[in-house]
Amino acid sequence: MTPALSVRNLRIEIPTRRGVLTAIDDLSFDIAPGEVLGMVGESGAGKSITGSAVIGLLEPPGRVAGGEIHLAGERIDHLPPERMRHIRGKRIGMIFQDPLTSLNPLYRIGDQLVETIMTHQRMTTAEARDKAQRLLEEVGIPAAKTRLSSYPHQFSGGMRQRVVIALALAADPELVIADEPTTALDVSVQAQIIALLKRLCAERGAAVMLITHDMGVIAETADRVCVLYAGRLAELGPVRDVVKHPQHPYTIGLMSAIPSLTGDPDEALAQIPGSMPRLGAIPAGCAFNPRCGYRFDPCTVERPPPYDAGAGEAACFLHAPAFARQAPAETLRQADAAGIQLSIPNGEAAR
Amino acid sequence: MSMQGLAVANETGVERKTLVEVEGLRRVFDLSKPWLNRMIEREGRVFLTAVDGVDFSIRQGETYALVGESGSGKSTIAKMAVGLLPPSAGSIAIDGADVWGKKSPEAERRMRRKIQMIFQDPFASLNPRWRVGSIIAEPIKAFGLIDDPLDRAARVGELLSLVGLDPRDGQKFPHEFSGGQRQRIAIARALASEPNFIVCDEPTSALDVSVQAQVLNLLRDLQERLGLTYLFISHNLAVVRHVATRVGVLYLGRLVEEAPARELFAAPQHPYTKMLLEAVPDIEMEGKDRQSIAGEIPNPITPPAGCHFHPRCPVRRPECDVETPPPHRVGDATVRCHLFGSAS
Ligand SMILES: Nc1ncnc2c1ncn2[C@@H]1O[C@H](COP(=O)(O)OP(=O)(O)OP(=O)(O)O)[C@@H](O)[C@H]1O
Ligand SMILES: Nc1ncnc2c1ncn2[C@@H]1O[C@H](COP(=O)(O)OP(=O)(O)OP(=O)(O)O)[C@@H](O)[C@H]1O
Ligand SMILES: [Mg+2]
Ligand SMILES: [Mg+2]
Which residues of chain A neighbour B288 with C-beta distances below 8 Å? none
Closest CA to B276 of B243, B302, B241: B241
Please list all protein residues whose beta carbon sits less than 5 angstroms from ligand 3, which is an ion.
A 48
Whether the predicted pLDDT of B15 surpasses 80: no
pLDDT at B191 over 60: yes
Q: pLDDT at position B232, please?
A: 97
Mean per-residue pLDDT for B184-192?
93
Give this prediction's pTM: 0.88
State the sign of the Cα–Cα–Cα–Cα dihedral A219, A225, A230, A231. negative
Please give the pLDDT value at position A156.
79
Average pLDDT over chain A reads 91
Atom 4 in ligand 2: residue holding the nearest Cα: B29
What's the domain count of chain B?
Answer: 1
Any CB–CB contact under 8 A between B235 and chain A? yes
Query: What is d(CA A350, CA A85) in angstroms, rounded to the nearest whole number?
Result: 56
**In whole angstroms, what is the distance from residue B261 CA to residue A16 CA?**
50
Q: How far is CA B84 from CA A107, A112, B138, in A?
A: 39, 42, 19
Q: Does any domain span residue B45?
A: yes
Q: Flag whether A301 is in a domain.
A: yes
Ligand 2, residues B30, B45, B75, B204: which to mutate, most atoms within 8 A of Cβ?
A: B75
Inter-chain CB pairs, A–B, below 8 Å:
124
Q: Which of B209, B262, B276 to mutate to test the interface with A (most CBs of A within 10 A)?
A: B209
Share of chain A above pLDDT 70, in %: 98
| Chain B partners within 8 Å of A268 (Cβ) | 217, 220-221
Could you give the number of structural domains in chain A?
A: 1
Find the closest chain A residue to B242 by CA distance: A265
Separation of B28 CA from ligand 2 center, angstroms? Answer: 11
Set of chain A residues whose Cβ sits within 8 Å of the Cβ of B238: 216, 258-261
- What pLDDT score does B14 carry? 59
What is the domain-level CATH number for residue B55?
A: 3.40.50.300
- Give the Cα separation of B199 and B219 in Å (integer): 11
- Whether residue B119 is contained in a domain is answered as no
Asked whether the predicted pLDDT for residue B298 surpasses 60, the reply is: yes
E strand or H helix at A313, and its extent? Answer: strand A312-314
- CA B80 / ligand 4 centre spacing (Å): 13
Question: Residue A348 falls within a domain, yes or no?
Answer: yes
Residue whose CB lies within 8 A of the most ligand 2 atoms, among B25, B66, B69, B72, for a mutation test: B72
- Range(s) of the domain holding residue B74: 7-114+195-282+289-343
Q: What's the pLDDT score for residue B292?
A: 59
CB B309 within 8 A of CB B251: yes
CB of residue A240 inside a 6 A radius of ligand 1: no
pLDDT over threshold 70, residue B9? no
Q: How far apart are CA A198 and CA A184, in angstroms?
A: 18
If we measure between CA atoms, which residue out of B289, B256, B250 comes closest to residue B270?
B256
Protein residue whose Cα sits closest to atom 17 of ligand 2 = B75
Q: Out of B180, B213, B279, whose CB is closest to A269?
A: B213
pLDDT of A98 reads 76
pLDDT given for residue A120 in this prediction:
83
Give the Å distance between the CA of A204 and the centre of ligand 1: 31
Span of A170-179, B199-208, B295-304 with lowest mean pLDDT: B295-304
Least confident of A188-202, B146-160, B191-205: A188-202
Examine residue B263 and state whether it is found in any structural domain, yes or no.
yes
Tell me what percent of the residues of chain A surpass a pLDDT of 90. 61
Q: Which one, of B312, B320, B311, lies nearest residue B339 by Cα?
A: B320
- Quick check: A323 and A317 in contact, CB under 8 A? yes
Q: How far is the CA of A174 from the centre of ligand 1 (A)?
A: 26
* Domain assignment present for B161: no
Residue of B120, B243, B283, B291 to mutate when probing chain A, most A C-beta within 10 A: B283
Please indicate whether, in this complex, the C-beta atoms of A261 and B69 are within 8 angstroms of each other: no
- Burial group, residue B37, by CB count within 10 angstroms (0-12, 13-18, 19+): exposed
Ligand nearest the Cα atom of residue A44: 1
Kindly state if the Cβ of B235 falls inside 6 Å of ligand 2: yes
Give the pLDDT confidence score for residue B327 in this predicted structure: 95
CA of B55, closest CA in chain A: separation in Å?
A: 25
> Is B142 domain-assigned?
no
Q: What is the pLDDT of residue A280?
A: 87
Distance between CA B213 and CA B211 in Å, rounded? 5
Instruction: Give pLDDT, residue A162.
Output: 87
Average pLDDT over residues B107-119: 90
Ligand 1 pocket mutation pick from A12, A42, A49 by most atoms within 8 angstroms of CB = A49
Q: Which residues of B touch A279 (CB under 8 A)?
A: none
Whole-number Å distance, alpha carbon B108 to ligand 3 midpoint, is 44
pLDDT range class, residue B233, cuts 50, 70, 90: very high
Tell whether the model's pLDDT for residue B6 goes beyond 60.
Answer: no
Structural domain range at position A304: 286-351
For residue A262, which residues of chain B lie inside 8 Å, CB to CB?
A: 284
Residue-wise pLDDT for A239-263, tens only, equals 999 999 999 999 999 999 998 888 8
Q: What is the predicted pLDDT for the residue at B181?
A: 87
Q: Is pLDDT of A264 > 80?
A: yes
Q: Does residue B49 have its Cβ closer than 6 Å to ligand 2?
A: no
Indicate whether A345 pLDDT > 80: no
Mean pLDDT over each residue of chain B, to the nearest integer: 88
A26-70 per-position pLDDT tens digit = 999 999 999 999 999 988 899 999 999 999 999 899 999 999 999
Q: How far is the CA of A225 from the centre of ligand 1 (A)?
A: 20
Count of C-beta atoms within a 10 Å radius of residue A91: 19
- Average confidence (pLDDT) over B234-263: 95
Q: A156 and B297 in contact by Cβ < 8 A?
A: yes
Q: Is the pLDDT of residue A282 over 70?
A: yes
Q: How far apart are CA B73 and CA B55, in angstroms?
A: 13
Q: Which of B76-85, B115-124, B207-216 has the highest mean pLDDT?
A: B76-85
- B31 and chain A in contact, CB less than 8 A: no
Q: Does residue B8 have a pLDDT over 60? A: no
Mean pLDDT over A148-156 rounds to: 88
Q: How confident is the model at residue B10 (pLDDT cuts 50, 70, 90)?
A: very low
Answer whether residue A27 is part of any domain: no
Asked whether residue B77 is assigned to any structural domain, the reply reads yes
ipTM: 0.84
Q: Is the CB of A43 under 6 A from ligand 1?
A: yes
Give A33→chain B minimum CA distance, Å: 23
Query: B146: burial class by Cβ within 10 Å (0-12, 13-18, 19+)?
Result: middle
Binding site membership of B195 for ligand 2 (Cβ less than 6 Å): no
Instruction: Dump pLDDT digits (tens) for A184-231.
Output: 777 777 877 888 888 888 898 999 999 988 888 898 889 999 999 999
Which residue has the CA at smallest separation from atom 4 of ligand 1? Answer: A14
Residue range B217-226: average pLDDT? 93
Q: Do A261 and B280 touch (CB under 8 A)?
A: yes
